[in-house]
Amino acid sequence: MELLALLSDRENVITAVKNALKTYTVYPVKSLPQLEELLGNVPTGLLMLDGFLAKPSQVETLMSAKKRKVLLLVEDEYDFNKLSNFPETVQVKDIFRELQRTVDRMLESVKLKDEISILHKSRGRQVENLNTVTLPQIIDAPGKRLVHEQVLLNFAKTLTVNFNLKKLLDHFMDSVMEIIRSNKMSILLREKNAFRIKSHIGMDPYFAENLKLTSESSLIKWLSGHGRILCRSQNTKDQLSASLVKEMELLQSFCSFPMIYKGKLIGVFNIDSKITGDPFYKEELEVIFILCNYLSATIKDIDYYHQIQYQKEFTRNILANMSSGVITINTEERVSIFNQKASEMLNLEAVDVIGSDLRRLPSPLGDILYETMVEGKVFRRHETLIKPGNIPIGVSSHRILSEDDNAIGAVIVFTDLSDLKKLEEEKRKADNLEAMNNLIGKIAHEIKNPLTSIQTFTQLLEDKYKDEEFRKFFTVTVMQSVQQLNNLIDKLVIFSSPIDYRSDVYSINDVIDDIIKYVSKDLPAGIQLKKEVLDKDAYVTIDKNFFIKALYYLILTSAEKLSNDDSILLQINQDLKKQDSVEIAVKFIGEPLSDEEREMLLRPLLDIDAFGIELNVPISHKIIEDLHGTLSITSSKEGNALVITLPTTKKSGTSMKDGHSHG
């Protein structure tokens, strides 16, 4: 730590020097009388003079006094001819580039000179005394000098500061004043990586405000390493390093006390000589050292308190401005936090809810909080309805645990989904409208093709009726077109209208045999249909006709993705341990379907060429769900599968019809 004095009345120069020398404490003065006063009170490591203000004669006078190190800041037109001794110089225009390097070099020279002087003194050589002021001595007290009750009474005032650090430090120094009447005192506290003066008596305010010690400071390193009182007496001066002595002189400190908390230095308390010049008694220093330890613990408590208050206020601001409701409960099942958004959503005042039983909360929020705290059940993006009003909300809950992992409460965060649900409904309506427009357009196109064919051949029939070959061709073509229209209308009816199912109990193996007979005639040439049925038959409750149609459409969809000589496997699976369901898998080879492709297959309107194929999987999906089954799509390197899962039932001779006529 070095204090650098700067004589200048130009604000631009003062600002430039401070910015260039941020690692040092720069003390600016604007006149020679102010400079002389500063040099008389505070030891400076270097004197910087603005050549615009300091005349050559004044520069030489300051250089000769106590052989000070002087650095002259000059402009191009400065007259060096009037100087008999040339100081170090830096051009004002080069301050940012040259000043730091020049100051470092000059201070290294000063430091080396001081170290050599101390080394000579330790060997008994006669050299000029670096400090002509006689320092006080430390002696044993002749008897009980301190009135302990008065000291404790004054120190007890610190208990009334209500976590106010400034008041605490002021009371502490008042207590020390009862023990030692000193002309100067200061307390440095750690701030991140530096120690700054937080309270002082008898020191220059500017100096106290701008002075800082880093962790690499000699004084800080000594007190951190030794953890005991450091006094700058006549007997010890020659044994201390020059930088350590200079820092204590700069702090105007005769004794420096470490303030240690849990083995770490958090501050330094400094006192200068007694105002009477009397010696220090060991008993006095011991009491101050003990008080410093108590002060350290109190300072950390205040620091922790303010951290907690900051976190509390920070958390309060977050909760107050959250777009979601937040509620917490404690171990007594009482509400401890109820933020503004929760108050708005639930139409309850926070003052009425906080501290009340969780059962005061609308259902099911209280139940969710209780289950989370007591049972450890965690809800993640759970959707529910708040009663009364059936307001849709999304809820997430978490258990609050102590350091011992014991439940001490629970918290829920919930969001009003009303606007989101409205938006989803509007989007669904828009999607449905778009889908309906696409559907109508495709229906018109699909109907137009066979009708055009029928119309064309009907017009030619009268002219070519006697042509037997034409009549045969006409019959086949029209029949195909009519069948195409019939299939299309059948799909549209199934897809768009409610279906009246007639369900009964059937053997799944028998159903598969019927399906193979039904679909074989419509498979593309070269595609084979194979089956793997159960050894032990299972029974399902279905409408056989509609279920066969559902499987028929799935098999045709699979066939569209195959080439000649490929095969489709119709496989029945049932878990032997869990026989309450059966799986019917339509397996086919090919590139594995992506997640997006699997999702798209279950949508009603796909962007592919053949409209009839578009509705195959959606129609099958609708029928299967109506029969209380599920349809899923799986993909792997071995191939793809459309998997139907149906609940099984016991074999029975009683019909399971639902009472509706077949549609």
Please count the CA atoms within 13 angstroms of the CA of 128 that sit on its side-chain side.
5
% of the chain with per-residue pLDDT over 70: 83
Other Cβ atoms less than 10 A from the Cβ of 515: the count is 23
Mean pLDDT value of segment 615-638: 84
Q: Which of 68-72, 340-344, 528-532 has the lowest mean pLDDT?
A: 68-72
DSSP-derived secondary structure for 445-479: HHHHHHHHHHHHHHHHHHHHTT-HHHHHHHHHHHH
Predicted confidence at residue 267, as pLDDT, reads 93
**CATH for 3-122, options being 3.30.70.1230, 3.40.50.2300, 1.20.930.40, 3.40.50.1580:** 3.40.50.2300
Per DSSP bridges, beta strands 581-588 and 630-636 are: unpaired
pLDDT tens digits along 350-396: 888 899 998 888 888 888 999 999 888 889 888 888 877 778 888 99
Predicted confidence at residue 268, as pLDDT, reads 95
Predicted confidence at residue 166, as pLDDT, reads 87
> Which one has a higher pLDDT value, 552 or 594?
552
> Which one has a higher pLDDT value, 490 or 262?
262
For 421-496, CATH gives 1.10.287.130
Predicted confidence at residue 233, as pLDDT, reads 66
pLDDT tens digits along 163-205: 788 888 888 888 888 778 888 899 999 988 889 999 999 888 8
Residues 6 or more apart from 100 whose CB is under 8 A from it? 20, 21, 23
Predicted confidence at residue 266, as pLDDT, reads 92
Please count the CA atoms within 13 angstroms of the CA of 356 that sit on its side-chain side.
15
254 closest CA partner among 200, 188, 183: 183
Hunting for tokens 């609708």 — which residue is that? 622
Torsion of CA 649, 653, 657, 662, to 10 degrees: 110
Residues in the chain: 663
pLDDT tens digits along 123-136: 554 334 434 445 56
Hunting for tokens 């006080």 — which residue is that? 136
Helices (H), 46-94: 56-64
Predicted confidence at residue 129, as pLDDT, reads 41
Rounded distance between C-alpha atoms, residue 569 and residue 358, angstroms: 58
Q: Using the predicted structure, report yes or no on whether residue 143 has a pLDDT greater than 60.
A: no
Contact 584, 572 (CB under 8 A): yes
Torsion of CA 247, 250, 255, 259, to 10 degrees: -70
Is the preceding peptide bond at 364 cis, omega within 30 degrees of 0? yes
> Which one has a higher pLDDT value, 46 or 548?
548
pLDDT tens digits along 514-524: 998 888 888 88
Predicted confidence at residue 490, as pLDDT, reads 72
**CATH for 322-416, options being 3.30.360.10, 3.40.720.10, 3.90.226.10, 3.30.450.20:** 3.30.450.20
pLDDT tens digits along 486-514: 777 776 666 666 778 888 999 999 999 99
83 burial type by CB count under 10 A (0-12 exposed, 13-18 middle, 19+ buried): middle
Mean pLDDT value of segment 545-550: 89
Q: Using the predicted structure, report yes or no on whether residue 459 has a pLDDT greater than 80.
A: no
Rounded distance between C-alpha atoms, residue 172 and residue 295, angstroms: 8
Predicted confidence at residue 313, as pLDDT, reads 81
617 closest CA partner among 545, 559, 563, 663: 559
Contact 50, 31 (CB under 8 A): no
For 504-647, CATH gives 3.30.565.10
Write the single-letter amino acid at 166.
K
CATH architecture of 138-306: 2-Layer Sandwich (3.30)
Rounded distance between C-alpha atoms, residue 500 and residue 545, angstroms: 12
Write the single-letter amino acid at 117.
S
> Which one has a higher pLDDT value, 268 or 126?
268
Predicted confidence at residue 657, as pLDDT, reads 43
Contact 97, 115 (CB under 8 A): no
Confidence tier at 207 by pLDDT (50, 70, 90): confident
Q: Which of 129-143, 191-205, 251-265, 564-578 has the lowest mean pLDDT?
A: 129-143
Residue 122 φ then ψ, to 5°: -65, -20
What are 421's two structure tokens? 């649900």
> Which one has a higher pLDDT value, 231 or 148?
231
Q: Using the predicted structure, report yes or no on whether residue 112 has a pLDDT greater than 90.
A: no
Residues 6 or more apart from 493 whose CB is under 8 A from it? none
Mean pLDDT value of segment 528-554: 88
Would the CATH topology of 322-416 be identical to that of 421-496? no
Helix 544-560, helix 508-520: angle, nearest 10? 50
Other Cβ atoms less than 10 A from the Cβ of 465: the count is 11
Q: Using the predicted structure, report yes or no on whether residue 148 has a pLDDT greater than 60.
A: no
Domain limits, the chain:
3-122, 138-306, 322-416, 421-496, 504-647
First and final C-alpha spacing in the chain? 97
DSSP-derived secondary structure for 576-599: SS--SEEEEEEEE-SSPPPHHHHH
Torsion of CA 13, 19, 20, 24, to 10 degrees: 110
